[in-house]
Amino acid sequence: MEQIMDNKLMNLTLKIWRQKDAAAEGELKSYALTGVSPDMSFLEMLDVLNEQLVAKGDDAVAFDHDCREGICGMCSLMIDGQAHGPEKAVTTCQLHMRQYKDGDTITIEPFRAKAFPVVRDLCVDRSAFDRIQQAGGFCSVNTGNAVDANSMLISHDTAEKSMDAAACIGCGACVAACPNASAMLFVGAKVSQYALLPQGQPEREKRALAMRAAMDAEGFGHCTNEYECEAACPKEIKISNIARLNREYFRATLISE
């Protein structure tokens, strides 16, 4: 019974940001979409729209996506003013249309930040994250240099804490959701993963200084502790990682030569 009720198809109005390329002006355009099944994922709903647009000879709405199981970090979207939509701890690809009801209007915008310029429609360029990582998001160990994996003992809790931070998928929702377009949660997670582990110690100060500098150079905003990043993060990365980044950076400023 429950299933039959759930399967009622919906008609929706979509207001979608359309922008031809980085240089062009963009605008919100309205689309009426009929016959949306509640079992569809949000991206499948956009697939259906695109198939209809293409069949009519119109340009499909460009949006980034890949794994469609919430791990690759490729999908994005600001849905009704919320990064990855209304649910908690979910990426857009895992959002299902049963969250919506017949007649709803949904506004879909790209993740917006100076550091994430729009490529087309809903696709943005998040290579700023790659460049931050290039500045220091690694342990400098060449292939073949490693010692036996068990020669380094790491407590269970430390490994778990590090894993909590490492779970970041680099989607950029933290930046999109932050009122200041700050990337502190992303950088905090990366710095924390390594700062917690013995492998990260040799480059600990260098990393904090370099990743902070790279982050600021990309034009991300300042963290004002609004915690919207934590609320938007599909992997529930905690703001304690931002606090750790603050400590790490302060410490590195003080003690590095």
Partner 1 sequence: MEANENCASKCCGRLFEFLDSSIGKKFMVAAAGLLLVGFLVTHLAGNLFLYVGDGAFNHYAEALEHNPLLPLAEGGLIFLFLVHILLSARATYLNRKARPVAYESYKGKGARTPGSRTMALTGSLILLFIIIHVATFKFDVGGLKGQTPGTEESLYAHVITWFSNPLYAAFYILAVGGVGLHLSHGVQSAMQTFGVNHPRYTPLIRKAGLALAGLIFLGFVSFPVYFGFLQKCLSCSTGAH
Partner 2 sequence: MKLDSKVPSGPIEKSWDKHRFELKLVNPANKRKFKVLVVGTGLAGASAAATMAELGYQVETFCVQDSARRAHSIAAQGGVNAAKNYPNDGDSIWRLFYDTVKGGDFRAREQNVYRLAQVSNNIIDQCVAQGVPFAREYGGTLSNRSFGGAQVSRTFYARGQTGQQLLLGAYSSLMRQVGLGTVKLHTRREMLDVVVVDGQARGIVCRNLVTGESETYWGDAVVLATGGYGNVYYLSTNANGSNVTATWRAHKRGAAFANPCYTQIHPTCVPVTGEYQSKLTLMSESLRNDGRVWVPKKKADPRNPQDIPEEDRDYYLERKYPAFGNLVPRDIASRAAKQMIDEDRGVGSTGLSVYLDFKDAIARIGEPKVREKYGNLFDMYHHITAENPYERPMRIYPAVHYTMGGLWVDYNLMTTIPGLFCLGEANFSDHGANRLGASALMQGLADGYFVLPYTIGGYFAGTKLAKVTTGHDAFKEAVSSVNARTQRLLKTGGKTSPSALHRKLGHIMWDNVGMGRTAKSLNTALSEIPALREEFWKSVAVTGSGEEFNQTLERAGRVADFLEFGELLAKDALTREESCGGHFREEHQTPDGEAKRDDDKFCHVAAWEYKGEGKPSERHVETLTFDNVHIAQRNYA
Contacts to partner 1 by CB under 8 A: 15, 17, 26, 28, 78, 80-83, 88, 107, 109, 112-115, 177, 179-182, 184, 212-213, 215-216, 219-228, 230-232, 239-240, 242-250, 253
31 contact, one of partner 1, partner 2, none, CB 5-8 Å limit per kind = none
Residue type, position 29, single letter: K
53 contact, one of partner 1, partner 2, none, CB 5-8 Å limit per kind = partner 2
24 contact, one of partner 1, partner 2, none, CB 5-8 Å limit per kind = none
Opening angle at CA 221, ends 248 and 83, nearest 5 = 100
Nearer to partner 2, 140 or 253 (CB): 140
Nearer to partner 1, 48 or 119 (CB): 119
CB of 51 to partner 1, least distance (A): 26
Residue pair 222/179 in contact by the 8 Å Cβ criterion = no
Distance CA 242, CA 223 (A): 9
Nearer to partner 2, 26 or 227 (CB): 26
Nearer to partner 1, 64 or 248 (CB): 248
User: What per-residue string of b and e applies to 32-69 under the rule 16 or more CB within 10 Å gives b?
Assistant: ebeebbbebbbbbbbbbbbeeeeeeeeeebbbbbeebe
- Cβ atoms within 10 A of the Cβ of 118, count? 22
71 contact, one of partner 1, partner 2, none, CB 5-8 Å limit per kind = partner 2
Distance CA 110, CA 124 (A): 7
Residue pair 222/170 in contact by the 8 Å Cβ criterion = no
230 contact, one of partner 2, partner 1, none, CB 5-8 Å limit per kind = partner 1
Distance CA 245, CA 196 (A): 11
CB of 230 to partner 2, least distance (A): 19
Nearer to partner 1, 68 or 112 (CB): 112
234: closest CA among 184, 190, 195, 176?
176
DSSP label of 61: P
Residue type, position 43, single letter: L
150 contact, one of partner 2, partner 1, none, CB 5-8 Å limit per kind = partner 2
Q: In the structure encoding, which two tokens stand for residue 50, read together?
A: 């695109």
CB of 245 to partner 2, least distance (A): 16
